[in-house]
Amino acid sequence: MINEAKKYGDVIVGALSDEEIIKYNYFPTVSLENRISLYQSISGVSKVVVQRSLMYDDIIPSLKPDYVLHSDSWRNGVEFTVRAHVKELLSAYGGELIEISEPKSDEAKQFKRIHRERLAMPEFRRKRLRELIKLCPIVKIIEAHSGLTGLIAEKTVVESNGTLEQFDAMWISSLCDSIDKGKPDIELVDMSSRLRTIDDIMDVTSKPIILDGDTGGLTEHFVYNVRTLERMGVSAVIIEDKTGLKKNSLFGVDVVQTQDSIEDFSAKITAGKKAQLTDDFMIIARIESLILEQGIDDALTRARAYVKAGADGIMIHSRTETPNEIFDFCDLFRKEDQTTPLVVVPTSFNYVTEEELKSHGVNIVIYANQLMRAAFPAMTKTAETILKHHRSLEADEMLMPFKDIITLIDEL
Ligand code: SPV
Ligand code: MG
């Protein structure tokens, strides 16, 4: 591309900032600084500029290049809107777009695959969550409970309001992992089985993973599990301050649930932190005070204690229909602590936007069960339709074409 560009004049290379690369559903393995030096070292490049807008709004109007050279791959898919916008910016002053076909060689094809596979290696995947917290205004996480749902989390990209949107990471929900196995969410699905789910997902994805670690179990067991998760490349485990038979938080006080003492739960966090070997892995403490109607003061006291015990983040959970108590907690917490990452799971107050959460100091939003809740009614309706009609014709309009399912998963 650079050789081709040289034919038209001075070549300026745009290096996309890390924040914008993420929106393309890529993650940089080379720092922006090193990318800039790399491009500068290529003969024929006269200048490298940092591009801070995916839509080229910062670059084209100020540089007014005579020509923009770009790969023609953006003619299809979500990047089409970026292309349309670039053409608009160019036409404002008579600039021209030149599109170059990407090399079709095996080497070029392998390059993308190798990049993804490198990101999937434990040492890259594990630290990526911490990197994302620094880079993203809010880290967006979706639930995955299988290889297939992992692929949806990995690959889904949409164009929205003049930018591209994708999920940053995956949440291995105890609720959905249990439901997928036809079991209740009571820590019945054991760690070996949870690890198997994680492994299935890791096999086909590269995005970071947060495990819903329930109560973390016995401290004596938790320390071993921290080591295992860290070695696998999981980025974080979230453990909740409950003890005894755990029930799903969304039951609230309709079932018997016991909150752990601050001392015991803090000791579990400290033991976990001592067990881990890298600085990448995160242990996030989940506070159940609002779920168990113990009030914001109790939640704040616990947050302080858990951070002191070594927690790398706080998840505050609620099952109310409005986000008010979550906002109150976040505002008060942020008054005294501006750095510890805050995690929120807006299931019952689902009208809250990422923008609003961000404005109250939330760093990570988890969409904890939506893929499972989408799949179950669709599958049940299909089963009922086949039973009613003694054939599958009537169900067909709800299904993807069978020709598509056989090519859904790419071969290497
Ligand atoms: C899960 O997804 O399993 C959770 C979140 O723990 S919640 O179901 O809201 O308790
Ligand atoms: Mg759970």
Per-residue pLDDT of the chain (412 residues; tens, 9 = 90+): 899 999 999 999 999 999 999 998 889 989 999 999 999 999 999 999 999 999 999 999 999 999 999 999 899 888 899 999 999 999 999 999 999 998 777 887 788 888 888 999 999 999 999 999 999 999 999 999 999 999 999 999 999 888 899 999 999 999 999 999 999 999 999 999 999 999 999 999 999 999 999 999 999 999 999 999 999 999 999 999 999 888 898 988 898 899 999 999 999 999 999 999 999 999 999 999 999 999 999 999 999 999 999 999 999 999 999 999 999 999 999 999 999 999 999 999 999 999 999 999 999 999 999 999 999 999 999 999 999 999 999 999 999 999 888 888 887 7
How much is the pLDDT for 106? 81
Q: Measuring from each residue's beta carbon to the nearest atom of ligand 1, which residues come in under 6 Å?
A: 173-175, 185, 212, 248-250, 345, 347, 368-369
> How many whole angstroms separate alpha carbon 155 and alpha carbon 157?
6
CA distances from 373 to 13, 144, 367 (A): 45, 12, 11
Residue 15's pLDDT is 96
For ligand 1, atom 2: residue with the closest CA: 173
In angstroms, the first-to-last Cα distance of the chain is 27
Rounded CA-CA distance 353/31 in Å is: 31
User: What pLDDT score was predicted for residue 409?
Assistant: 86
Q: So which residues are the catalytic ones?
A: 185
CA of 279 to the centre of ligand 1 (A): 26
User: Ligand 2 centre and the CA of 315: distance in Å?
Assistant: 12
Q: Which residue has the tokens 């973390």?
A: 216
Please give the distance, rounded to the nearest whole angstrom, from the Cα atom of residue 185 to the centre of ligand 2.
Answer: 7
User: What is the per-residue pLDDT for 124?
Assistant: 95
Nearest residue (CA) to ligand 1, atom 5: 368
* 143 Cα nearest atom in ligand 1: 2
Q: Which atom of ligand 1 is nearest to the CA of 369?
A: 2
Question: Among 145, 181, 248, which is best to mutate for testing ligand 1, by the most ligand atoms less than 8 A from CB?
Answer: 248
Among 142, 174, 176, name the best residue to mutate to test ligand 1's pocket (greatest count of ligand atoms within 8 A of Cβ).
174
Q: How high is the pLDDT of residue 115?
A: 85
Cβ neighbors of 302 (< 8 A, separation 6 or more) are 241, 262, 265, 285, 287, 289
Atom number in ligand 1 closest to CA 347: 9
Ligand 1 nearest-atom number relative to CA 214 = 6
pLDDT at 109 (0 to 100): 77
How remote is the CA of residue 153 from the centroid of ligand 1, in Å? 18
Biggest CA pair distance of the chain: 74
| CA atoms of 171 and 150, how far apart (whole Å) | 10
- 2-102 has which fold? Rossmann fold (3.40.50)
Q: Which atom of ligand 1 is nearest to the CA of 368?
A: 2
**Ligand that lies nearest to the alpha carbon of residue 249, given by its number in the listed order:** 1
Domain 115-368: which CATH number of 3.40.50.2300, 3.20.20.60, 3.40.50.300, 3.10.20.30:
3.20.20.60
**Nearest ligand atom owner, CA of 343:** 1
For residue 398, report the distance from its CA to the centre of ligand 2, in Å. 30
**For residue 131, what are its two tokens?**
């990197």
Kindly give the pairing relationship between strand 139-143 and strand 45-51: unpaired
**Residue nearest atom 7 of ligand 1, based on CA coordinates:** 249
Ligand found nearest the CA of 187: 2
Altogether, the residues listed in the chain come to a count of 412
- What φ, ψ does residue 317 adopt, rounded to 5°? -115, 150
Q: How many CB atoms lie within 10 A of CB 402?
A: 8
Q: Where in the chain is the domain with CATH 3.20.20.60?
A: 115-368
Count the neighbouring beta carbons within 10 Å of the beta carbon of residue 266: 21
CATH 3.40.50.620 positions along the chain are 2-102
CA of 69 to the centre of ligand 2 (A): 49
Cα distances from 393 to residues 381, 386, 400, in angstroms, run 14, 8, 13
Q: Which residues surround ligand 2, an ion (CB under 5 A)?
A: 174, 212
Instruction: Note the pLDDT of residue 71.
Output: 92
CA-nearest of 276, 285, 262, 187 to 223 is 276
